[in-house]
């Protein structure tokens, strides 16, 4: 018989969300086993644009204006690309996404997620100080680029509508923009909106790994294991880890885009779909480096200064989570990016690819499982997994330890589907 080990909670998934849940539970006195099949932060937590997006107070909605829909339908948009087979499979999910993007329902989702957005930087900074990652963080915000004056004017009007949220931003004409981003090529854009509240990081994967190291330095156990071996019985949860069997009264599913694989086996079916994305690193050319993350709004990509070089992160690809990569979107984005700023050669042998786990109401699932009182969920953060990881950890840990929560968990409940 294999040796049996005991913990208070098994946390499945060592991305930014799972690591943050483990840290917060540990801080509240729980003994935690954190498991992943690979290294911490090696998947979606690694491949993003490095934004802690305090200014995203409106969820990423399904477009409802005909010109944008027509552009996306052509499948020639760099911002949104789709595989036809995947689009047909996703049709029911996309219909629900479109329905939830109506103004009144979008406003409801925005109000639900706002308490997490408002606390996202504070929660990250708390762990960053303890984990020693403050040097990887910059508090200078990010910049949205607009190629013509009409789109810039629309962006200015949209920014004004967010006045009630007290966000700090600057409207930049081309000349002012070039003082903040001297590496931009002349005439590339008409102007920009500089959102000053967000914090950016130069290596999101390293930040996640440092948080995981903090967890182990404080006595937590981080082991490699297959979440699919999780079993439930009258005593709680058990998981096979190498030659040992671990037991815990409670378990947390924080497996990002793989969460549904386990949930289906446990009898849950959630409408989780995927917005895939790619990134590539480039060498610095002619001394031109983004001083802030730069988002080309029309093409949907972001250029960020990272430890490895300049990272280009693409927009959305609607495809199955595990379908083979398609370089078209990245190749097209690179061509546009080279007209914005000089880029050196590619530094990666192959583009990185990941899948953002998305739910049709644009809200994650955070809270207790409906049919297993000892099972908890924390996944489905879409574009904001890295942003909301630490604050999600706080919210879930408070709920699990019967502490007052800073917001209502109702909008994130699993049984809403």
Beta strands in 42-161 (DSSP E): 51-52, 80-82, 137-138, 142-146
Q: Which pair of structure tokens corresponds to residue 270?
A: 């959630």
Q: Is the residue at 121 inside a domain?
A: no
Does residue 295 contact residue 301 with C-beta atoms inside 8 Å? yes
CATH number of 340's domain: 3.30.9.10
Mark residue 189 as left, alpha or beta (left: phi above 0; alpha: psi -120 to 50; beta: remaining). Answer: beta
Q: Which of 1, 11, 3 is nearest to 31 (CA)?
A: 11
> Are 180 and 307 found together in one domain?
yes
Q: What's residue 1's pLDDT?
A: 47
Mean pLDDT, residues 89-109 taken together: 97
> Are 231 and 252 found together in one domain?
yes
> Are 67 and 156 found together in one domain?
yes
Does residue 215 contact residue 22 with C-beta atoms inside 8 Å? yes
Q: How would DSSP label each residue in 184-203?
A: SPTTS-SEEEEE-S-EEES-
Question: pTM of the prediction?
Answer: 0.96
Q: Is the residue at 21 inside a domain?
A: yes
Taking only the tens place, the pLDDT of each residue in 237-285 is 999 998 899 999 999 999 999 999 999 999 999 999 999 999 999 999 9
Taking only the tens place, the pLDDT of each residue in 137-186 is 999 999 999 999 999 999 999 999 999 999 999 999 999 999 999 999 99
Residue 262, H or E segment: helix 259-265
> Are 264 and 377 found together in one domain?
yes
**What's the structural domain count of the chain?**
2
Among the candidates 358, 376, 401, a domain finishes at 358
> Are 181 and 293 found together in one domain?
yes
Among the candidates 340, 358, 376, a domain finishes at 358
Does residue 348 contact residue 7 with C-beta atoms inside 8 Å? no
Taking only the tens place, the pLDDT of each residue in 327-358 is 999 999 999 999 999 999 999 999 999 999 99
Does residue 246 contact residue 5 with C-beta atoms inside 8 Å? yes
Domain with 335, as residue range(s), is 55-111+128-201+272-358
């Amino acid at each position: 018989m294999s040796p049996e080990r005991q913990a208070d909670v098994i946390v499945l998934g060592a991305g930014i969300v799972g690591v943050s849940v483990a840290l917060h539970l540990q801080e509240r006195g729980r003994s935690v086993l954190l498991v992943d099949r690979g290294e911490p932060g090696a998947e979606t937590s690694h491949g993003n644009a490095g934004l802690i997006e305090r200014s995203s107070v409106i969820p990423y909605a399904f477009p409802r204006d005909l010109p944008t829909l027509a552009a996306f339908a052509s499948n020639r948009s760099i911002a949104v690309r789709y595989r036809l087979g995947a689009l047909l499979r996703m049709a029911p999910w996309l219909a629900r996404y479109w329905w939830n993007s109506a103004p009144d329902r979008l406003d409801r989702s925005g109000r639900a997620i706002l308490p997490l957005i408002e606390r996202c930087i504070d929660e990250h900074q708390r762990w960053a100080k303890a984990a020693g990652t403050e040097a990887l963080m910059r508090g200078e915000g990010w910049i949205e680029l607009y190629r013509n004056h009409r789109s810039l004017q629309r962006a200015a009007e949209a920014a004004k509508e967010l006045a009630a949220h007290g966000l700090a931003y600057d409207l930049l004409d081309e000349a002012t923009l070039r003082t903040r981003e001297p590496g931009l090529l002349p005439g590339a854009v008409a102007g920009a909106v500089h959102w000053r509240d967000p914090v950016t990081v130069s290596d999101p994967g390293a930040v996640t790994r440092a948080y995981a190291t903090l967890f182990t330095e404080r006595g937590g156990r981080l082991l490699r294991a297959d979440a699919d071996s999780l079993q439930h019985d009258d005593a709680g949860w058990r998981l096979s880890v190498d030659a040992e069997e671990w037991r815990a009264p409670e378990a947390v599913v924080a497996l990002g885009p793989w969460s549904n694989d386990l949930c289906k086996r446990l009898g849950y079916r959630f409408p989780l779909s995927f917005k895939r994305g790619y990134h590539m690193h480039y060498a610095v050319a002619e001394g031109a480096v983004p001083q802030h993350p730069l988002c080309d709004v029309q093409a949907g990509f972001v250029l960020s200064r990272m430890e490895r070089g300049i990272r280009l992160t693409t927009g959305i690809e609607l495809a199955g989570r595990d379908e083979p990569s398609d370089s078209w979107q990245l190749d097209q984005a690179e061509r546009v990016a080279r007209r914005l700023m000089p880029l050196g050669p590619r530094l990666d042998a192959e583009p990185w690819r990941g899948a953002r786990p998305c739910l049709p109401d644009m809200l994650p699932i955070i809270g207790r499982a409906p049919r297993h009182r000892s099972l908890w969920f924390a996944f489905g953060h879409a574009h904001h997994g890295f942003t909301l990881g630490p604050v999600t950890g706080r919210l879930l840990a408070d709920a699990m330890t019967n502490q007052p929560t800073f917001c209502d968990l109702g909008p994130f409940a699993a049984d809403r589907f």
